[in-house]
């Protein structure tokens, strides 16, 4: 994490205009999402789109040839640009040869990618951005904050200021007046332009057609009025046919703004002509006299070669992954992005602009999995972000302290225990009377500024685990408890609750003392090699117990054990079959209990009105969200749902250490939503979320209790 990036985050969080704009933006996109997803079978449509894009990318070399031939037959000129430089030079040369002085441009991320406007302005050509959002960003001298809404980070006051400066007069902040001003100030530019530049959302190979979508109508004018039209198209936009294009159209507008269709969808095939032209002396119609299509590679072919990153080429640039991203909601795409923003932007940045830049973005990801849920092309963005971290990790060396901790400590249960013991001693001066740590020295102070931390308990769960090696007849099912680090060292009481609850279920509860960290913190930092050794260790330890089920209280651990261990071991047949066996046994605590809820004894806590926070990895990682709610009902508690119950709490693995301010901002939104319910307690089902929420509420001096769902089953009298 560079100091510069950290500074940018702090600035973004302190920027009142930005924060106010982001708040309206996220409220708006939430409604848009609901609207857009109404009346369609999203899983079916996105599978269809995924399959079609997959097929198109598989056949890309042939499709390029086909597209080129058909577009040329229809009168277009097609240029294949390998690099950004080749594309820019083509445009500069053409502009020079045709004596172009004024250009109108519709929004195109590809042109941002190659900094086309900047290069044209350098040679003295006037370029007017015509998308109103892009126009605002141009006037502000900034880069777009969002793939679809470049100026979503600006307030009306700021926009009025920018247009006021342009037109040298006072402009009202009334929304419709601002729009009228923007429209009127652009009209002349269209009429006098000698060149129009656009991107394309889709290119259809079997007819040589470009498909261009705009809501404002500017795209219609940019592509028709000027004598020359240049369309810059990433090669990944090429699909086979109309049916493929329809699959994109079905989801694009619904995913980005929530409307069923974009206002204008233009299919452009070649250059215009006059019907029955033999009767007329007009050599062409009223469209541009020349259509140049630049097919841009700029790293896309390399991406296509990569098994891991190929999927990123399926992206239809709808921006839905940004709309849902908690990091984006805190700092916008100008901080969480280079040219392309957010999660998908991280991957695109790696290939188009370099791995160093991409890695800084990847580090900001909270790993909440929200983007994977909403992607209309069903791209596994979180997995690719992990791959960016991994690739960077393999090539460069991570932060030395972090690497040491991961390699030497976490993977070895003995060393881990000793380290924790040392920590137990070292923490002493900082532990308050209620066992919370509210202020730490040095770099750790950044964390305790955001949340209060639990102290390491006097004895770890491992130390007291022999008590729970229950014996009994062999026909009862055996349930092993994988506690995870937080329950092992910080919330041992919770661990004991789980074991008690299991005992009450009339199963044989086993606590394998040799279990170590699941590896999630290491894995998410991209160190797959160390993670694998941890996986191997845990797989052996867990299988040795002969357990029928393995219960977890931290969904982060559960996802590792159930899914990621499979991915890590897939190259080793024997290991993989063992991992598969472990995977099949994993049960989240609430999942296990709901099957036995009739027999479980629920302790009555003081609170009756509670709210529930969905842990990211439980809801999106394992698809479990109903079970905990049912358990709350069984417990006889009144559940008041909070807004965005499934939004990330901002824990995000070691993000607290790397990006404390960012985590704090995400946490604050969560805490506001919790407090707004008026509940006495917030229940959740993840030890890390408990840590984060408890620490945050303590900082606020709130009386709201944070309860892990397993603690609802605490036997009366037990600590």
Minimum Å distance from CB 338 to other proteins?
22
The CA distance from 518 to 522, in Å, is: 9
Residue 262 binds other proteins (CB under 8 A): yes
Name which of 316, 218, 220, 319 is nearest 267 in CA terms.
Answer: 220
For residue 580, give the 3-state DSSP assignment.
helix
Pick between residue 102 and residue 503 the one whose CB is nearest to other proteins.
102
Q: Looking only at residues 161 through 220 of this chain, which bind other proteins when binding is defined by CB under 8 A?
A: 175-176, 178-179, 182-183, 186-187, 191, 206-207, 209, 215-218, 220
Interface with other proteins in residues 603-642 (CB under 8 A): none
Binding residues among 219-248 for other proteins as defined by CB under 8 A: 220-221, 224-225, 227, 242-243, 246
Task: Give the residue, chosen from 264, 430, 576, 625, that forms a contact with other proteins under the rule CB under 8 A.
Answer: 264
Segment near other proteins (CB under 8 A); pick from 249-257, 306-314, 423-431, 611-619: 249-257
C-beta of 25 vs 491, nearer to other proteins: 25
Q: Which stretch binds other proteins (CB under 8 A): 155-163, 195-203, 297-305, 375-383?
A: 155-163
Residue 235 in tokens: 């090669």
| Binding positions for other proteins, 379-398, rule CB under 8 A | none
Find the DSSP H helices in 257-353: 300-305, 320-323, 326-335, 342-352
- Distance between CA atoms of residues 404 and 529, nearest Å: 14
Region of 233 on the Ramachandran plot (φ > 0 left; ψ -120 to 50 alpha; else beta): beta
What b/e sequence results for 83-104 when a residue is b if at least 16 CB atoms lie within 10 Å of its CB, and e otherwise?
A: ebebbbebbbebbeeeebebbb
Closer residue to other proteins, CB minimum distance, 230 or 688: 230
> What contacts 419, CB < 8 A, 6 or more positions away?
409
Binds other proteins by CB under 8 A, chosen from 77, 92, 166, 274: 274
Chain-centre distance for alpha carbon 421:
36
**CB 216 to other proteins: min, Å:** 4
Nearer Cβ to other proteins, position 45 or 431? 45
Site residue total, other proteins (CB under 8 A): 75
Q: How far is the CB of 480 from other proteins (least distance, A)?
A: 52
CB of residue 40 to other proteins, shortest distance in Å: 10
**Residue 577 found at the interface with other proteins (CB under 8 A):** no
For other proteins, which residue of 89, 263, 356, 577 counts as binding (CB under 8 A)? 263
Q: Which residues contact 306 (CB under 8 A, 6 or more apart)?
A: none
The residues in 117-136 that bind other proteins, with binding defined as CB under 8 A, are: 130-133, 136
DSSP E strands: which ranges in 130-285? 195-198, 202-204, 209-214, 228-234, 238-239, 264-269
Interatomic CA distance for residues 435 and 451, integer angstroms: 14
Q: Say whether residue 531 binds other proteins (CB under 8 A).
A: no
Which C-beta is closer to other proteins: that of 269 or that of 597? Answer: 269
Task: Determine, following the binding rule CB under 8 A, whether residue 323 of this chain makes contact with other proteins.
Answer: no
Which of 406, 366, 336 is CA-nearest to residue 651?
366
Q: Does 329 bind other proteins (CB under 8 A)?
A: no
- Please count the other Cβ atoms lying within 10 Å of the Cβ belonging to residue 443: 10
CA 297/CA 419 separation, integer angstroms:
50
36-95 residues in contact with other proteins (CB under 8 A) are: 70, 73-74
| CB 588, CB 615: distance < 8 Å | no
Q: Which stretch binds other proteins (CB under 8 A): 118-126, 271-279, 365-373, 660-668?
A: 271-279
19 part of the interface to other proteins, by CB under 8 A: no
């Amino acid at each position: 994490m560079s100091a510069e990036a950290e500074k940018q985050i702090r600035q973004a969080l302190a920027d009142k205009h930005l924060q106010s704009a982001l708040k309206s933006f996220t409220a708006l996109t939430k409604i848009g999402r609901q609207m857009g997803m109404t009346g369609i079978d999203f899983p079916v449509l996105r599978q269809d789109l995924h399959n079609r894009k997959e097929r198109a990318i598989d056949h890309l070399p042939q499709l390029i040839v086909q597209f080129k031939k058909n577009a040329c037959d229809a009168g277009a000129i097609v240029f294949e640009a390998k690099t950004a430089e080749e594309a820019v030079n083509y445009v500069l040369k053409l502009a020079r040869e045709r004596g172009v002085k004024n250009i109108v441009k519709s929004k195109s991320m590809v042109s941002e990618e190659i900094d086309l406007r900047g290069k044209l302005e350098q040679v003295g050509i006037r370029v007017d951005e015509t998308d109103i959002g892009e126009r605002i960003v141009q006037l502000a001298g900034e880069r777009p904050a969002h793939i679809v809404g470049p100026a979503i980070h600006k307030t009306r006051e700021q926009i009025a200021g920018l247009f006021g400066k342009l037109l040298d007069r006072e402009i009202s902040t009334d929304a419709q007046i601002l729009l009228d001003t923007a429209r009127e100030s652009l009209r002349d530019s269209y009429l006098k332009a000698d060149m129009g530049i656009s991107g394309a959302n889709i290119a259809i190979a079997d007819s040589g057609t470009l498909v261009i979508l705009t809501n404002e109508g500017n795209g219609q004018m940019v592509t028709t009025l000027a004598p020359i039209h240049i369309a810059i198209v990433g090669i990944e936009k090429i699909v086979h046919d109309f049916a493929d294009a329809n699959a994109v159209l079905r989801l694009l507008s619904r995913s980005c703004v929530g409307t069923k269709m974009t206002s204008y969808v233009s299919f452009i095939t070649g250059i215009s002509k006059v019907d029955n032209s033999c009767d007329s002396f007009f050599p062409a119609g009223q469209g541009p006299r020349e259509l140049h299509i630049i097919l841009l590679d700029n790293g896309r072919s390399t991406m296509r070669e990569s098994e891991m990153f190929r999927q990123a080429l399926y992206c239809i640039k709808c921006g839905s992954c940004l709309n849902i991203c908690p990091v984006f909601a805190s700092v916008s795409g100008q901080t969480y992005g280079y040219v392309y923003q957010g999660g998908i932007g991280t991957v695109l940045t790696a290939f188009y602009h370099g791995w160093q830049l991409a890695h800084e973005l990847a580090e900001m990801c909270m790993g909440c999995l929200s983007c994977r849920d909403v992607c209309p092309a069903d791209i596994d963005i979180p997995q690719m972000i992990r791959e960016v971290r991994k690739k960077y990790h393999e090539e460069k060396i991570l932060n030395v302290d972090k690497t040491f901790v991961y390699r030497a400590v976490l993977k070895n249960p003995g060393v881990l225990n000793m380290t924790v013991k040392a920590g137990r001693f070292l923490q002493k001066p900082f532990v308050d009377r209620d066992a919370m740590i509210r202020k730490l020295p040095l770099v750790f102070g950044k964390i305790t500024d955001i949340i209060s931390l639990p102290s390491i308990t006097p004895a770890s769960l491992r130390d007291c685990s022999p008590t729970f090696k229950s014996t009994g007849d062999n026909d009862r099912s055996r349930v092993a408890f994988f506690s995870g680090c937080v329950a092992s060292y910080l919330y041992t009481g919770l661990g004991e609750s789980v074991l008690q609850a299991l005992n009450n279920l009339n199963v044989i509860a086993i606590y394998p003392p040799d279990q170590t960290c699941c590896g999630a913190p290491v894995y998410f930092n991209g160190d797959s090699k160390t993670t694998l050794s941890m996986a191997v260790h845990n797989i052996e330890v867990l299988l040795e117990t002969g357990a029928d089920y393995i219960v977890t209280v931290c969904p982060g651990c559960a996802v590792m054990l159930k899914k990621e261990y499979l991915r890590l071991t897939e190259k080793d047949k024997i290991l993989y079959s063992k991992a598969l066996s472990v995977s099949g046994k994993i049960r989240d605590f609430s999942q296990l209990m709901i099957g036995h809820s009739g027999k479980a004894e629920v302790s009555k806590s003081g609170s009756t009105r509670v709210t529930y926070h969905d842990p990211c990895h439980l809801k999106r990682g394992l698809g479990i969200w109903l079970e905990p709610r049912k358990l709350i009902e069984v417990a006889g508690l009144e559940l008041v749902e909070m807004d965005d119950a499934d939004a990330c709490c901002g824990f995000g693995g070691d993000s607290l250490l790397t990006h404390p301010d960012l985590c704090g901002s995400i946490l604050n939104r969560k805490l506001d939503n919790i407090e707004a319910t008026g509940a006495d307690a917030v229940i959740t089902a993840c030890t890390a979320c408990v840590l984060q929420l408890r620490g945050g509420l303590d900082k606020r001096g709130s009386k709201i209790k944070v309860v892990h769902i397993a603690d609802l089953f605490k036997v009366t009298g037990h600590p």
